A and B are shown apart, each in its own frame.
Chain A
Amino acid sequence: MKISINIDPVLADTEIIINCGSLTAETENIIAALRMADNQMTVLKDGETHILDISKIAYIETVDRRTFVYTEKDCYESKLKFYEMDEKLCSGSFLRISKSCIVRLKYIRSLKAEIDRRLRITLENGEQLIASRQYADGLKKRLGVH
Chain B
Amino acid sequence: MDKNFSVLKFLSQVFMIYGITTGLLNIFCILFGTSAYGFSTIFSLGNTGVSIATSFQFLLAVFLIVGLKFIFMTDILIKKIPLAARIIIMFAGAFATILVFIFAFGWVPANMPIAWIMFIICFVLSCAVSTVISVLAEKQENRRLEEALKRYKEEQ
Residues on A facing B (Cβ under 8 Å): 93, 98, 100, 105-106, 108, 110-116, 118-120, 128, 130, 132, 140, 142-145
**In the complex, how many angstroms separate the beta carbon of B62 from the nearest chain A beta carbon?**
17
Main secondary structure of the interface of B (DSSP, over half): helix
CB <8 Å contact, A110 and B148? no
A84 CA to B145 CA, complexed, in Å: 29
Interface residues on B, range: 20 to 34
Choice from B4, B83, B151 contacting A115 with Cβ under 8 Å = B83
Contacts of B146 in A (CB 8 A): 110-111
CB <8 Å contact, B145 and A143? yes
Contacts of A111 in B (CB 8 A): 142, 145-146, 149
Number of A-B residue pairs with CB-CB distance less than 8 Å in the complex they form: 58
**In the complex, how many angstroms separate the beta carbon of B57 from the nearest chain A beta carbon?**
27
Choice from B73, B141, B142, B145 contacting A116 with Cβ under 8 Å = B73
Contact with A along B120-156 (1 / 0, CB 8 A): 0000000000000010011001101110110111001
Q: Which of B27-61 contact A (CB under 8 A)?
A: none
A132 CA to B87 CA, complexed, in Å: 19
Could you list 30 A-B pairs, sorted by A, with CB under 8 Å? A100-B3, A105-B152, A105-B156, A106-B153, A106-B156, A110-B146, A111-B149, A112-B142, A112-B145, A113-B137, A113-B141, A113-B142, A113-B145, A114-B73, A114-B78, A114-B83, A114-B138, A115-B87, A115-B134, A115-B138, A118-B78, A119-B145, A120-B78, A120-B79, A130-B4, A130-B78, A132-B4, A143-B145, A143-B152, A144-B152
Assuming the contacts A110-B149, A115-B134, asked whether A145 and B156 have C-beta atoms less than 8 A apart, the reply is no
CB <8 Å contact, B134 and A130? no
Give the nearest-CB partner of B139 in chain A: A113
Contacts of B142 in A (CB 8 A): 111-113
CB <8 Å contact, B79 and A128? yes
Give the nearest-CB partner of B134 in chain A: A115
Choice from A100, A130, A144 contacting B148 with Cβ under 8 Å = A144
A98 CA to B152 CA, complexed, in Å: 20
A130 CA to B87 CA, complexed, in Å: 18
Choice from A98, A100, A108, A130 contacting B149 with Cβ under 8 Å = A108
Contacts of A108 in B (CB 8 A): 149
**In the complex, how many angstroms separate the beta carbon of A81 from the nearest chain B beta carbon?**
19
> Looking at A115, A143, A145, which has the most chain B CB atoms within 10 Å of its CB?
A115
